[in-house]
Amino acid sequence: MIRVRKDKKRVPYMFMSPALIMISIVFLYPIISVLIDSFFQISGQKRTYTGIQNFRVLLENDLFWKSLINNMKFFICVPILIILGIVFAVLLYNRIPGWKIYRVLLLVPYIFSIAVTGIIFDCILRENGLFNILLEKIGLGHLVQPWLGQTSTAVYAIMAVIVWKEMGFGTMLILARLLSVDESMVEAARLDGAGIFTITRKILLPEAKPVISFYFVLCMINMLSWLFNYVYVMTKGGPVNSTYVMDFYIYQLGVKFVNYGMASALAVVLLIITFLLVGVQAAMQHYVFPDEED
């Protein structure tokens, strides 16, 4: 009898084992490899154990700090994406005239690949590009400049492109949550004379909080480890290395400069920061929205 119970206990683990093995191969093995490599200087087939030297050098490296600060600058996109997402989701939820067209239009940029978006905006933001032509036409010719070609504006120009491309996703995410809100609550509020702002503030936003919190952390992680494509396509890290971000720097160190030890050390730093953010999200879920945990 005891033996049968023991076997029964093993069954779930047996079912889980293929998935666990796959996860170990796909996630754990690379993470452990990168972690090990970060303590070595790797030159061709030669590997020299250097302890924490790679991390020490990295922390003294100006471009590492510039990349990290740039990642932080990209966090500016997060509140913008969230606010725009909420505003557009609420407008679509309230079925403003033409809402079906707006819903499609908002999602279109998200469908474009980043490479296509980057190339298009690269042309638009040139000194003789469409954006500057428009500025001239509306009498703002004094603002004309090479948006991606100067250190003072390049990072912010990339941010604008990211917001343009990504806001559709946030809008749809929040809208999907709003559409599952109990209609009778909104209807009751309307009957009680509540306007769109009151309904949004008192019903829709509290209902969408968990999704917004999830979207917040997703955006934060994206701004840390998912900017490579934009930077690679639009600026290649320039001008004057001003748009370096951490994932782009990892690529440069590993692929271009064939310095795998250093690239691994930077990847470990990025991983730690990302885990911290996931921890923040879990804490938020636990302390800010305890009711939603179940």
Partner 1 sequence: MKKIISLLLVAAMSAGLLLGCQKKEEKAEQGQTELTIWWWGEEDVPGSKAWLEQTAEAYEKENPGIKIEMVQQTSDQLVPAWETSVQAGAGADIQFFWTGTYTLMYVWDEENRSLADLTELIPEEEMEHWLGTEGVSWGGQAWAAPWYQVSIIMLYNKELFKSAGLDPDTPPADWDELLAACGKLKESGVIPFENGGMKDGFNTPWMYSTMGIASHDSPKEFIEAAVNEGSFADESNKLWLERLYELNEKGYLNPLTMSNDFPSGRESFLRGESAMGLVTNGQALQWIEDMGGEDKVGIMRIPAYGDGAMAGKQNVQSQAFGIPEFSKNKEEAADFIVFMHQPEQLKSFYELTKNFPADDRFDSDTLSSESEKFLWDYLLNDSTVYPSLYVPSMVHSQGNYAAAQMVLSGSTAKEAAQYVEDIAEEWRKMSPDECEHFKDWAENYIE
The binding site for partner 1 (CB under 8 A) comprises: 41, 43-46, 48, 57, 60-63, 122, 126-129, 146, 148-151, 235-236, 238-241, 252, 254-260, 262
Omega prior to 239 cis, within 30 of 0: yes
Angstrom distances, CA of residue 63 to CA of 148, 228, 252? 19, 15, 12
Residue 102 or 251 having the CB closest to partner 1: 251
How many Cα atoms within 13 Å fall on the side-chain side of residue 66?
A: 14
| DSSP string of 235-272, one letter each residue | TTT-STTTT--HHHHHHIIIIIS--HHHHHHHHHHHHH
- Closest approach of partner 1 to the CB of residue 23, in Å: 20
Q: What are the C-alpha distances in Å from 83 to residues 131, 134, 150, 164, 215?
A: 24, 26, 29, 13, 11
Smaller CB distance to partner 1: residue 38 or 252?
Answer: 252
- CB 183, min distance to partner 1, A: 44
User: What does each C-alpha distance from 149 to 119, 156, 158, 237 come to in angstroms?
Assistant: 14, 12, 11, 11
45: three-class secondary structure by DSSP: coil
Q: How far is the CB of 110 from partner 1 (least distance, A)?
A: 25
At its nearest, how many Å lie between partner 1 and the CB of residue 156?
Answer: 16
CB 256, min distance to partner 1, A = 6
Taking the complex as a whole, the smallest distance from the CB of residue 1 to partner 1 amounts, in Å, to 25
Rounded to 10 degrees, the C-alpha dihedral 46/50/55/57 comes to: -90
Nearer to partner 1 (CB atom), residue 122 or residue 207 = 122
Q: Which is nearer to partner 1, 44 or 97 (CB)?
A: 44
What DSSP assignment string belongs to 179-229? HTS-HHHHHHHHHTT--HHHHIIIIIHHHHHHHHHHHHHHHHHHHHHS-HH
Closest CB 152 distance from partner 1, rounded Å: 10
In the bound state with partner 1, the residue whose beta carbon lies nearer, of 13 and 197, is 13
Cα separation, 208 vs 105, in Å, equals 22
